[in-house]
């Protein structure tokens, strides 16, 4: 008790009280989340993105409606939540980003570089989608949405609007069902909606092919700049600033979804849309494609193997219950997907009712749902600009939540890798540099050929490479580092070992499902198309090269690490390259216990409670320190945690 800093801690001079978290950062050098709510909201914002709104509903009605929910939740339980928990615990244990964590087995550091490459690709094109949402948001600030009618310079003779068009006479349809059916098909074949022509001919001014870049679309470029500025300002102080922003960006989309849901279910035809969404087609349960789509959707929507989960968890305090967080965040993400399906299909049911067609004729997926089908449905609503503003504001917030984590993943990896005091203090400049580079790399996507390149990156840059990265991560942690070692690490961090279910999933079930996804992806592969446009072979080669660029990091770095490792033979160098780094383990000295413990002046000192000093006296309390078991580290801001015996 002779050290001044220790006395200060024992006297609770840092503002802590027994059993309550302190106000200061546990890791004063690197920083922590302001509180646990910020971490949960940020992770929810990261996992819940644009795909929850446009991909999940499409997969539901394509794969048997309500029947798709069964394999979806099976994959969530046996693959999604276990992988989510694995990445959170991995990052939290070492308090390092997606590069630093591979001190667990340095030969596998290429997996971290692969995660960085994936996050770079996604961050580039994801912000372009956000900037288009910004553009539509700005264009909705008008009395009349510009994609309502066909009397604009960008419209073609094939344009046929639905606003003000009388519905087909029901009696005539009943008498001449066959004739009206043929007429309906012909009309649908010829008709292009005002929203589709606004999207293709005005917003994007799409060129004839992926090689025909044409000019830069200046309005889109300006919105891209706005988008990157917003992301940078929200991350200007790292998790300290983004943690405050997510209180709004992660919660307000649910307010908008609820408003749109209430409005949607009150529309005529909404019930038919929801029935189409939920009605199970049980015969499709036996289709392997349905299970493959369910596994892929869980895998990609949770953001596994992007590096973001590891990065966000690295700013947690060491003893945070990331097991609880992983369940909360995963269930929230999947619940949001289901909820968004109700919102989307209530509106699409109304639109199908207005047009006199089946729901399957108006529903789409990807950008087509967000920027064509849904905007067209919005024109049918009273006060349509208001609903348009709300919808695109929701898309912006959903996108920003994911984009924050993508950028922070890259910045944290660079800062942790360099690790100097200067780079840590000037992290803002690193953030600015990454934002500027991301903006410049996104400029080609604002040209007339931008949509072709955006879809190419979406389909290839973050596809099977994510599956391979996750599979190798499981193999490294469970079989190279050792499952028993990792289970002990988790127990030291959380105070309890991982549940048996998660141990089995980590070792056997999840790798099996990941392998299934990979095989299914290869077997079901089809060349990408955009409407009627077929991508040329050279562009598909570029797509595969983008996918391989993240995977190739793994063997290249492994060979490099083996070559520079100590040893006279290949086997000796191989063994040394997979051994954990001496620095592997908890970042702070007071958490390095057991096999991570160090001896000497840096070891953690145990000091008594202030109340016990009064009642028992110093000498008597010193004899009972082991029974009380209350560890109070220095003034770095650790939580006071009394043991059960106290």
Say if residue 213 is exposed, middle or buried (CB neighbours under 10 Å; 0-12, 13-18, 19+): middle
Structure tokens at 187: 């009309």
Question: Is there a binding annotation on residue 301?
Answer: yes
* Helix (H/G/I), strand (E/B), else coil: 467: helix
Rounded to 5 degrees, φ, ψ at 641 are -125, 95
- What is the 8-class DSSP label of residue 67? G
Question: Is there a binding annotation on residue 381?
Answer: no
Question: Is there a binding annotation on residue 52?
Answer: yes
The residues, any chain, with a CB within 8 Å of residue 307's CB and separated by 6 or more, are 97, 98, 112, 115, 116, 118, 119, 409, 413
Contact 635, 8 (CB under 8 A): yes
For residue 400, give Cα distances in angstroms to 49, 87, 437.
Answer: 8, 22, 18
Contact 583, 96 (CB under 8 A): no
Partners of 641 in the beta sheet?
A: 631
Structure tokens at 142: 């008008």
Q: How many CA atoms lie within 13 A of 568 on its CB side?
A: 0
Cα-Cα-Cα-Cα torsion 366, 370, 376, 380, nearest 10 degrees, comes to 130
Closest-CA residue to 467 (of 83, 170, 23): 83
Partners of 216 in the beta sheet?
A: 447
Question: Is there a binding annotation on residue 337?
Answer: no
Say if residue 227 is exposed, middle or buried (CB neighbours under 10 Å; 0-12, 13-18, 19+): buried
Question: Is there a binding annotation on residue 398?
Answer: yes
Dump the DSSP string for 334-382.
HHHHHHHHHHHHHHHHHHHHHHTS-GGGT---THHIIIIIHHHHHTTST
Binding residues for Na(+): 45, 47-48, 52, 301, 333, 398
Known binding residues are: 45, 47-48, 52, 301, 333, 398
């Amino acid at each position: 008790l002779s050290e001044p800093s220790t006395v200060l801690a024992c006297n609770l001079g840092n503002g802590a009280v027994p059993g309550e978290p302190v106000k200061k950062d546990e890791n004063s050098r690197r920083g922590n989340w302001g509180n646990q709510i910020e971490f949960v909201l940020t992770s929810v914002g990261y996992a819940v993105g644009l795909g929850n709104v446009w991909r999940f509903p499409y997969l539901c009605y394509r794969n048997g409606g309500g029947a798709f929910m069964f394999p979806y939740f099976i994959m969530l339980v046996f693959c999604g939540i276990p992988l989510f928990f694995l990445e959170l615990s991995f990052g939290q244990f070492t308090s390092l980003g997606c590069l630093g964590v591979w001190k667990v087995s340095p030969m596998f550091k290429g997996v971290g570089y692969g995660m960085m490459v994936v996050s770079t690709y996604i961050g580039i094109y994801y912000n372009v989608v956000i900037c288009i949402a910004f553009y539509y948001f700005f264009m909705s600030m008008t009395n009349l949405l510009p994609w309502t009618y066909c009397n604009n310079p960008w419209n073609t003779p094939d344009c046929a609007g639905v606003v003000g068009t009388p519905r087909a006479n029901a009696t005539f349809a009943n008498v001449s069902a066959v004739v009206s059916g043929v007429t309906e098909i012909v009309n649908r074949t010829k008709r292009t909606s005002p929203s589709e022509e606004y999207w293709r001919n005005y917003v994007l001014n799409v060129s004839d092919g992926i090689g025909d870049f044409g000019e830069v679309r200046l309005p889109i470029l300006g919105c891209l700049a706005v988008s990157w500025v917003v992301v940078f300002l929200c991350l200007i102080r790292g998790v300290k600033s983004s943690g405050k922003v997510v209180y709004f960006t992660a919660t307000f989309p649910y307010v908008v979804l609820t408003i749109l849901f209430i409005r949607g279910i009150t529309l005529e035809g909404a019930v038919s849309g929801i029935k189409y969404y939920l009605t199970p087609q049980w015969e499709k349960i036996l289709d392997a494609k349905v299970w493959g789509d369910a596994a892929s959707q869980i895998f990609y929507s949770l953001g596994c193997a992007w590096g973001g989960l590891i990065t966000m968890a690295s700013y947690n305090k060491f003893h945070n219950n990331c097991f609880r967080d992983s369940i909360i965040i995963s269930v929230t993400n999947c619940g949001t997907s289901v909820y968004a399906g109700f919102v989307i299909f209530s509106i699409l049911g109304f639109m199908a009712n207005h047009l006199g067609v089946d729901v399957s004729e108006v529903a789409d997926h990807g950008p087509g749902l967000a920027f064509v089908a849904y905007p067209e449905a919005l024109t049918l609503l009273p006060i349509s600009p208001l609903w348009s503003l709300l919808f695109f504001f929701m898309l912006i917030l959903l996108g920003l939540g994911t984009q924050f984590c993508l950028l922070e993943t890259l910045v944290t990896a660079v800062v942790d890798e360099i690790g100097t005091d200067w780079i840590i203090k000037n992290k803002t400049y690193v953030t600015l540099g990454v934002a500027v580079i991301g903006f410049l790399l996104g400029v080609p996507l604002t040209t007339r050929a931008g949509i072709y390149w955006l879809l190419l990156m979406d389909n290839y840059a973050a596809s099977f490479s994510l599956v391979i990265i996750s599979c190798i991560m499981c193999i490294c942690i469970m079989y190279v580092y050792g499952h028993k070692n990792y289970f002990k690490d988790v127990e030291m961090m959380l105070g309890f070992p991982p549940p048996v279910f998660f141990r089995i999933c980590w070792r056997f079930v999840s790798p099996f499902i990941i392998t299934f996804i990979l095989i299914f992806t290869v077997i079901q592969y089809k060349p990408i198309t955009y409407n009627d446009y077929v991508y040329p072979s050279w562009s598909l080669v570029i797509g595969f090269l983008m996918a391989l660029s993240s995977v190739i990091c793994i063997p290249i770095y492994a060979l490099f690490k083996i070559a520079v490792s100590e040893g006279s033979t290949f086997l000796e160098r191989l063994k040394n390259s997979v051994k954990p780094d001496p620095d592997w383990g908890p970042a702070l000295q007071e958490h390095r216990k057991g096999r991570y413990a160090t001896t000497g002046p840096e070891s953690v000192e145990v000091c008594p409670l202030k109340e016990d000093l009064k009642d028992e006296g110093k000498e008597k309390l010193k004899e009972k320190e082991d029974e009380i078991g209350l560890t109070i580290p220095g003034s770095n801001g650790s939580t006071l945690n009394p043991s059960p015996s106290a």
